[in-house]
Amino acid sequence: MTLLGHDQYCDELLRQTDLFRAALAGADLTATVPTCPEWTLGELSRHVGRAQRWAETIVRTKATEAVPPGQVPDSEGPADDAPEAMDAWLASGATRLAATLRAAGPDAVVWTWAADRRAGFWARRMVHETAVHRADAALTAGVPFDVAAETAADTIDEWLEILAFAQASGDPDVAGLRGAGRSIHLHATDTAGAEWLIEFGDDGFTWRRGHEKATVALRGPLADVLQVFYRRLPPGSDRVEVLGDRELLDFWLERASF
């Protein structure tokens, strides 16, 4: 695993937000998001904008504990019937967050919900938060979704790190990801080196990059493997191939949440 540089994360945050905004262009913001059915497309957009503003407030104030939502400036967001205002609100939030992250630098000590208590955590987290929700927006709006290979691979790395953290923290769903002798192989067919092996043990799971035979393999283009792994695309999609014990992949997807 190789992390992107801090400035690269800041650049990518702006790029992913621009692509998210592009997916919204001309879309009905009152439409239900199939992959997040409790939200409209407008509510999804407000979630992304609020998350970015929350992270910006944490880094800017060098918070030592979680910032209450009521203390985050400009977090309300426009209504679903104001698409132009929504576009501007999303753009301004991302611009502000990227500038704050650059000014702070990756090693500034701030509160996070993970073990990594640095501003760099939020740069990486907000890139992937925005990219995955862009997949939600693209599906809802009926437009294509793709993501640069380096970013997509890092998104999978980070999700596995988050799940390992949840496992160590005693999350009950993730704690169920155990059972020695079983394994999952993720294999991107369009990107050299984008392969992962998840191995189950009696006490939980471990993961690493690599190509090995496994109990079940998920194969396909990297963007599609990413979407299946984040439960944005069903494993039965004709865009991916599942080889081996499909029930094990379903077992993982049912419990791999945080």
> Which residues on neighbouring strands pair with residue 195, listed in sequence order?
187
Q: Tell how strand 32-33 and strand 36-40 pair up.
A: antiparallel
Q: What is the CATH number of the domain that holds 84?
A: 1.20.120
* Adjacency order of strands within the sheet including 195-201: 204-209, 195-201, 183-188, 216-220, 241-244
One-letter identity of residue 213: K
120 and 205 co-located in one domain:
no
pTM of the entire predicted model: 0.96
| Residue 165 located in a structural domain | no
Q: By the 8 A CB rule, do 189 and 219 touch?
A: yes
Q: Could you give the CA distance from residue 251 to residue 108 in angstroms, rounded to a whole number?
A: 38
| pLDDT tens-place string over residues 55-96 | 999 999 999 999 999 999 999 999 999 999 999 999 999 999
Angle ∠(157,13,32) on CA atoms, nearest 5? 85
198 and 119 co-located in one domain:
no
| Residue 152 located in a structural domain | no
Sign of the CA dihedral with 202 first, then 204, 209, and 215 last = positive
91 and 135 co-located in one domain:
yes
| Residue 1 located in a structural domain | no
Q: Please, which residues have CB within 8 angstroms of residue 155's CB and are 6 or more apart in sequence?
A: 127, 128, 131, 132, 147, 226, 230
Q: By the 8 A CB rule, do 9 and 131 touch?
A: no
83 and 179 co-located in one domain:
no
93 and 26 co-located in one domain:
yes
| Residue 199 located in a structural domain | yes
133 and 208 co-located in one domain:
no
101 and 15 co-located in one domain:
yes
Which range of residues forms the domain containing residue 61? 6-145
18 and 136 co-located in one domain:
yes
Q: 47: burial class by Cβ within 10 Å (0-12, 13-18, 19+)?
A: middle
| Residue 215 located in a structural domain | yes
135 and 185 co-located in one domain:
no
Q: By the 8 A CB rule, do 148 and 229 touch?
A: no
pLDDT of residue 230: 96
Q: Could you give the CA distance from residue 226 to residue 223 in angstroms, rounded to a whole number?
A: 5
One-letter identity of residue 89: W
86 and 10 co-located in one domain:
yes
Residue that terminates a domain, selected from 145, 178, 211: 145
Which residues does the chain have with pLDDT short of 70? 1-2
132 and 237 co-located in one domain:
no
| Residue 59 located in a structural domain | yes
Find where tokens 């621009």 sit.
18
| Residue 156 located in a structural domain | no
pLDDT of residue 258: 74
Nearest to 130 by CA among 113, 147, 144, 143: 147
pLDDT of residue 243: 98
pLDDT of residue 257: 85
pLDDT of residue 3: 81
Q: By the 8 A CB rule, do 143 and 23 touch?
A: yes
Q: What is the CATH number of the domain that holds 196?
A: 3.30.1050.10
Q: Tell how strand 216-220 and strand 36-40 pair up.
A: unpaired
115 and 176 co-located in one domain:
no
Domain count across the chain: 2
| Residue 163 located in a structural domain | no
